[in-house]
Amino acid sequence: MNNDESQMFLVAGPDENNLAAELMDCGVDIREINEMLTHESLEAAGLATADTLVLTAMDDASAIPVAKEQNPGVRVVMYTSDSLPEFARGQTDLAIDPALLNATVVAEELTES
């Protein structure tokens, strides 16, 4: 995405590594979802116009097919050290282990692509 265009990211789950703050520092519009991910909560958060959905808990992986159904173009990023379930692998665009890449690096890379 062009850096002149405003990007909108949804960040769902516990943000223990402060990825949302790092994304904000990169100039991204952030909407945090602090409730169970459902069709309704994703819609209310603005999934229809979101560029990227970041999930920080593997418990939320079941929301990936729901998100892709609502917005087929949304990029899905898992930022967790937990293993990605088999059912979610085909619809996840990027899985990153926080132990390997810190939130600052991840935010910079996600906003440049």
User: Residue 31, by phi and psi: left (phi above 0), alpha (psi -120 to 50) or beta?
Assistant: beta
Identify the architecture of domain 8-112 in CATH. Answer: 3-Layer(aba) Sandwich (3.40)
Handedness of CA 43, 45, 46, 48 (dihedral sign): negative
Q: What are the tokens at 102?
A: 């810190």
Query: Judging by DSSP bridges, how do beta strands 8-12 and 52-55 pair with one another?
Result: parallel
Q: Residue 6: what pLDDT?
A: 81
The per-residue pLDDT for range 13-46, each reduced to its tens digit, is: 999 999 999 999 999 999 999 999 999 999 999 9
Tell me the pLDDT tens digit for each residue of 84-102: 999 999 999 999 999 999 9
Amino acid (one-letter) located at 93? D
